[in-house]
Every structure is written in structure tokens, then in C-alpha cells.
Amino acid sequence: MKKNTYIKMTAPFRENNRAARKLELINKICTYLVFITYPVYVLYLCFTAGHMLALSIIAPFVGFIAVSVFRYIINRPRPYEKFDMPPVIPKDTLGRSFPSRHVFSAFIIAFTVLICSPSASPLWFTGILLAVIAAIIACVRVISGVHFISDVIGAFVFAVIEAYIVTVFFL
């Protein structure tokens, strides 16, 4: 992404405080939805399908740690750092942009629910809904200027790879 692209993409939100607040609200709501649904899902598994409980906890946990270490090593600057312009949503973290941990976490949780749930069950549809919410989070993170497009695509790819590994080796 070039500076001009960043400016054009974020300008409608930087120039309109109301739009910026809406974008920030969407980011918070979507993030909270994923991170509230996940413990409820794990709690549900405690009382119903215990054989998937360990996998549903271990897969996101291991992935989160791996992504955190990877992004610490890469330490890529964020768009607002690189272009010396404020992000639309409040953020002051330096570096650690690639891959997006928010996006990875949202997608791996969605994929875990999908993998561990019978198809066409209410839980499976919850996994689909979580994947849609994860995609919204990815878009918001880019539009708000806190991640590059490659950061969210990288996070998605990490989640897909982990979901594949879990499916092939543990199911």
C-alpha cells in the first residue's frame, strides 16, 4: 500500500468524526461478538460434546501463540507508523502489524467452531456467522489504517493453514 492509497482509504473517516465513531463501534462490536461467543462455545462443549473440547481450546491457543511470536520477530510497522498519519480508530501500538492478531483470532475461532460442529447444525451456522464477522473485522482493520491488506490476508492464511493441520492430523 502506498501513502496515497492510505490517505484516500482513510480520508472519509478521518474527515468525518461521526463516520470514524461508527467504524470504531463496528470494530468493537464485531470483536466483542467473537470473543464473547468463543467462551460460550467452549462452555457449551463442556456440557455436551467433550471430545471436541480439548481441540477447541488448544487450536486457537497454539495458533495465537505462534502468530504472536511470528509478528514479534517480523515486527512490521503499521500503516499509521509508516505513513506518519493517525489511524482512524485509536491505536498507539508500534510494529507487530503482520499478521493481524485480531483477524487471525477471529478466523481461527470461526474455523474451530466449523471443524468441531456437525454440518447444518446451529453451531455450524454460528461458525459461518463468526467467519463473516471475522471478514468484517479484517475490512475494518484495513479501512481504519491499523493494518495493511497483506496483514489481514496473512492472518487469514495462517488461520486456514492451522485449520487444515487440525483437520488432517487431529480429526
Domain count within the chain = 1
Query: For residue 9, is it within any domain?
Result: no
Greatest alpha-carbon pair distance for the chain in Å reads: 52
Q: Which domain holds residue 84?
A: 28-170
Query: For residue 3, is it within any domain?
Result: no
Question: What does the pLDDT read at residue 93?
Answer: 85
Query: For residue 95, is it within any domain?
Result: yes
Question: What does the pLDDT read at residue 31?
Answer: 96
**3-state secondary structure string across 108-144:** HHHHHHHHHCCCCCHHHHHHHHHHHHHHHHHHHHHHC
Query: For residue 128, is it within any domain?
Result: yes
Query: For residue 85, is it within any domain?
Result: yes
Q: What pTM does this model have?
A: 0.93
C-alpha cell read off for 135: 471478514
Half-sphere exposure of residue 19: CA atoms within 13 angstroms, side-chain side: 12
Query: For residue 21, is it within any domain?
Result: no
Question: What does the pLDDT read at residue 49?
Answer: 65
Query: For residue 20, is it within any domain?
Result: no
pLDDT by 10s per residue, the chain, length 171: 788 888 888 889 988 999 999 999 999 999 999 999 999 999 998 888 677 888 899 999 999 999 999 999 999 999 989 998 888 888 888 899 999 999 999 999 999 999 988 777 888 999 999 999 999 999 999 999 999 999 999 999 999 999 999 888 877
∠ CA(50), CA(52), CA(56), 5° rounding?
A: 120
